């Protein structure tokens, strides 16, 4: 198995002097291909900061973060942007679909940003929508989709550029229990099938059995880890 995400002694602080807040404290975490890892913990514990660091949206105050062996601290902003676009897929609490684009166009837009060839992009879109049971909704606008369908489109969009790592921030928070489980089952299945890695923040303990590992973070530190 390949290590897709690697945190080594990662700290993150905001502010200076007496106003400094240490949000993350010496985090050690490795996520391998084929793994869906859940991160949970109380509000304000550092979960979202951790996900932002993993997504190359923030830089650590100290320590190293690697995506598929690539040290983010050694990259300039353009290279970091390329990593975000080509190696990381994001899934948010709300699907964040563009209301004026049909389902298939949500995916094609990502392909255009990544400069994917048009024919390849169309084939990739059809493949993903079929695998997620959304082919019949390809011509629909987001307003016509259920919450679960929107999140499945968001998952398809995250996979569009075949990223090494998927980062999901409370992807089931706005869904009922049945649809929430369907979304996480879909994510877990895709991670295994594509031999990629995913990290999901959630407070929903009913989803823990679908994850390979559950990591609890409190006060900026990993306090518990269990399979």
Specify the CATH number for the domain of residue 221: 3.40.50.300
Whether residue 180 is predicted with pLDDT greater than 90 in this model: the reply is no
Given a cut of 80, whether residue 141 has pLDDT beyond it is yes
Predicted local distance difference test score (pLDDT) of residue 62: 93
Over 90: is that where the pLDDT of 148 sits? Answer: no
How far is C-alpha 61 from the chain's CA centre?
22
C-alpha–C-alpha distance, residues 107 and 121, integer Å: 8
Establish if 150 belongs to a structural domain.
Answer: yes
Is 71 domain-assigned?
Answer: no
Other beta carbons within 10 Å of 217: 24
What's the pLDDT at 177? 84
| Residues in contact with 217: Cβ distance below 8 Å, sequence separation at least 6, in sequence order | 39, 40, 41, 45, 46, 47, 50, 223
% the chain with pLDDT above 70: 100
Average pLDDT (154-175) is 87
What is the tally of structural domains in the chain? 1
Note down the domain range covering 131: 34-54+90-226
Residue 73 inside a domain? The answer is no
Domain-embedded: residue 24: no
124 is a domain residue:
yes
* pLDDT exceeds cutoff 90 at 171: no
38 neighbors 202 (Cβ within 8 angstroms): yes
d(CA 41, CA 223): 9
Residue 14 lies in a domain: no
Residue 195 placed within a domain = yes
Would 12 be classed as within a structural domain?
A: no
Greatest CA span in the chain, whole angstroms? 57
Instruction: Identify which has the larger pLDDT, 181 or 173.
Output: 181
pLDDT higher than threshold 90 for residue 95: no
> In this structure, are residues 30 and 67 in contact, taking their beta carbons and an 8 Å threshold?
no
């Amino acid at each position: 198995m390949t290590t897709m995400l690697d945190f080594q002694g990662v700290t993150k602080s905001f502010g200076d002097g007496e106003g400094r807040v240490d949000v993350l404290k010496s985090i050690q975490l490795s996520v391998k291909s084929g793994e869906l890892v859940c991160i949970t913990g109380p509000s304000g514990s550092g979960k979202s900061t951790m996900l932002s660091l993993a997504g190359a949206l923030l830089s650590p105050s100290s320590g190293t973060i690697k995506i598929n062996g690539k040290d983010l601290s050694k990259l300039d902003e353009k290279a970091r942007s390329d990593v975000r676009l080509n190696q990381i897929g994001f899934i948010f609490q709300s699907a964040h679909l563009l209301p004026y684009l049909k389902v298939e166009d949500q995916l094609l837009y990502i392909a255009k940003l990544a400069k994917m060839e048009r024919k390849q992009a169309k084939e990739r879109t059809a493949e993903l929508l079929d695998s997620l049971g959304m082919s019949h909704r390809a011509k629909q606008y987001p307003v016509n989709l259920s919450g679960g369908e929107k999140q499945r489109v968001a998952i398809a969009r995250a996979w569009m550029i075949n990223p090494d790592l998927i980062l999901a921030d409370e992807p089931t928070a706005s869904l009922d229990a049945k649809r929430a489980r369907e979304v996480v089952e879909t994510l877990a299945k895709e991670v295994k099938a594509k031999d990629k890695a995913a990290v999901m923040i959630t407070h929903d303990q009913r989803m823990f059995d679908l994850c390979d590992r559950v990591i609890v973070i409190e006060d900026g530190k990993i306090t518990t880890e269990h399979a």
